Amino acid sequence: METDFSSFVLAAATADLSDEPAARDDADAVEFRLDLATEPLDALATYDGELPLIATNRATWEGGEAADDAARLDALEVAAEHDAVGAIDVELAALERGDAAGVVDHAREHGTAVIVSTHDFEGTPHRDAMAETLSEASRLGDVAKLAVTAEGAGDVLDLLGATWAATTAGETVATMAMGEAGRHSRAVAPLYGSRIGYAPVDPADATAPGQYDLATLAGLVERLGDV
């Protein structure tokens, strides 16, 4: 069933679907990193957990481990057909290169939401550039996701500003600043409109720099949301 991103979705990010029972108390979904898993399609085929899945098969050129070939996108298509998969994640760069349009169409035919993502592992782009990236991604998918690398609090402010501006313009976005300086963005970005947070069940299994563990992020988001 298509995942609804009209309110915040906390995703337990993992390469191992056997994490799902441990994530149930705190997460709304599981992000299954196919690129980090062994035999991911077998794991998907036998998945019988309660939480809906977000299927991601991140290419090496975007910080993941999947080879840049047709098999990467084929696996995402297979994932999109699975009932438990409520959303797939496709890189904006793959869509701009013209590789991934078929995956998006396929997901839509199967009632699966599409997250269009961009990662900057070097820094935080200028606010105008972030705004442009988010609006282009939201034109192509259901959620526009932008993960940047913050070097200081100013970078986080820029990201939060871009998040709020996009949200008030009617875009559905998910944003986070990677790295130590950006860590708190993961807790506060939902207050500015970010609709997805990612956290590993076990901090040793982080899928990006600066992530909180799942229970910590769930607690922070909940308490900040109460104000």
Ligand X SMILES: O=C1C[C@@](O)(C(=O)O)C[C@@H](O)[C@@H]1O
Which residues are marked as active site?
A: 119, 145
- Per CB under 6 A, contacts with ligand X among 97-156 are 117, 119, 145, 147
Count of residues touching ligand X (by CB under 6 A):
15
Spatial separation of the C-alpha atoms in residues 40 and 134, rounded to whole Å: 29
Among 3, 195, 207, 220, binds ligand X (CB under 6 A): 207
Pick out the residues of the known binding site for 3-dehydroquinate: 31-33, 58, 186, 207, 211
Q: Does 211 bind ligand X (CB under 6 A)?
A: yes
Chain residue at closest Cβ approach to ligand X: 208
Number of H helices, E strands in the chain: 9, 8
CB distance 10 to 30 below 8 Å: no
Taking the complex as a whole, the smallest distance from the CB of residue 207 to ligand X amounts, in Å, to 3
Give the bridge partners for 145, in sequence order.
Answer: 117, 174
Spatial separation of the C-alpha atoms in residues 145 and 208, rounded to whole Å: 14
Nearer to ligand X, 99 or 109 (CB): 99
- Per CB under 6 A, contacts with ligand X among 175-204 are 176, 178, 198
Burial per residue of 73-110, b for 16 or more beta-carbon CB atoms within 10 angstroms, e otherwise: bebbbbbbebebbbbbbbbbbbbeeebbeebbebbeeb
Q: Does 31 bind ligand X (CB under 6 A)?
A: yes
CB distance 13 to 42 below 8 Å: no
Q: Does 59 bind ligand X (CB under 6 A)?
A: no
Binding site for ligand X (CB under 6 A): 13, 31, 33, 56, 89, 117, 119, 145, 147, 176, 178, 198, 207-208, 211
